[in-house]
Amino acid sequence: MSEAIDEFIRGESVFLTGGRGFIGTHLTRRLLARGNRVTIYDNGHRDSLRYSGLDGAKGLTVVSGDVLDRPALEQALGSPSYVLHLAAIAGVSSYFKKPLRTMEVNFGGTQNMLSCLKDKPGLRLFVGFSTSEIYGPEAHGVREEDPTSQGNIADRRWVYAISKLASEKLGYAYFWEYGLPTCYVRPFNVYGPGQVGEGAVSLFIYRALRGLPLRVTGDGSQVRAFCYIEDFCDAVETCLVRAEFVQGTSFNLGNPAEPVTMRDLAERIIKLTGSQSAIQFVPHAGEDVRYRSPSIERAARELKFKPGWSLDDGLKATIEWFHKVDPAAPE
């Protein structure tokens, strides 16, 4: 486990957009366990919550809604102490198919959320979820203060990164101009049980358990540093505890300890599942990211963040969940 500070918010009101998703469901479970009241606002596009056993849990309210529907969003919001804004269009195939929708939801939804919060005096912290994609195709040990790079503006591949970068900058603008207490986290390849969206680990495990080919883009030499969900959530919870100190700040959250090529990841998952699956190399849609691994020095210093899950232990736990639950294909 990570060595985040052993302190949590309790008895607070927390509002999560996109809370039915993979990360949102894990955060919801933790927040409810601390005695907080949690409202999820989500259109149900990706639904990890249905596998969680949290339906009807004490303190949980789930509202069906879209972040582009500002009146509905404002009505559901109430007066929370903390807001976690996770709602977004993600996944390469998703934003290739719907680039306009991606821009509208990721930037427009954030704009709606922040404008609703501008006059909420009881708000202690807004946590926006950005992405490691803002560092572009070559992100080797990147720090929060390093320049961002979104690649060719005419390449559809970068629509997600640009929408997220613009959203993060908007959060800073609200902090600078209105004093809105905003903080951003930049997830680096988070994975784990309950991942129902399009991610390399979830896709590989799902296919390996069925003996289907594992599709690796390019030649599989691309490098990623994967972060287990529990380590990631430790850091997010610490942001809430340290709300007054993290305002106007962004954090890289990942685990740089075990960078791995995508081919090696596929081979590990085949071995751990005992699968007979083959590896199938396929073209990547647009430019691929060649290397993605963060520096987490700021998070280690300010959040006491030290990821504790090894890649093999995290993969085993994720495989066990897929065995037990047998979820629908990630999308």
Catalytic positions, written as ranges: 160
CA 109, distance to chain mean position in Å, is: 16
> Helix %, strand %, coil % for the chain, to 5?
40, 20, 40
Contact 9, 35 (CB under 8 A): no
Phi, psi of 289 (to 5 degrees): -90, 120
Q: Which of 85, 270, 266, 61 is nearest to 164 (CA)?
A: 85
Q: Which class for 252: exposed (0-12), middle (13-18), buried (19 or more C-beta within 10 A)?
A: buried
Phi, psi of 27 (to 5 degrees): -65, -40
With a CB cutoff of 8 Å and minimum separation 6, the contacts of 249 are 144, 183, 184, 298, 302
Identity of residue 8: F
Phi-psi region of 58 (alpha: psi -120 to 50; beta: other; left: phi over 0): beta
Q: Rounded distance, CA 248 to CA 265, Å?
A: 35
The position carrying tokens 């390399």 is: 200
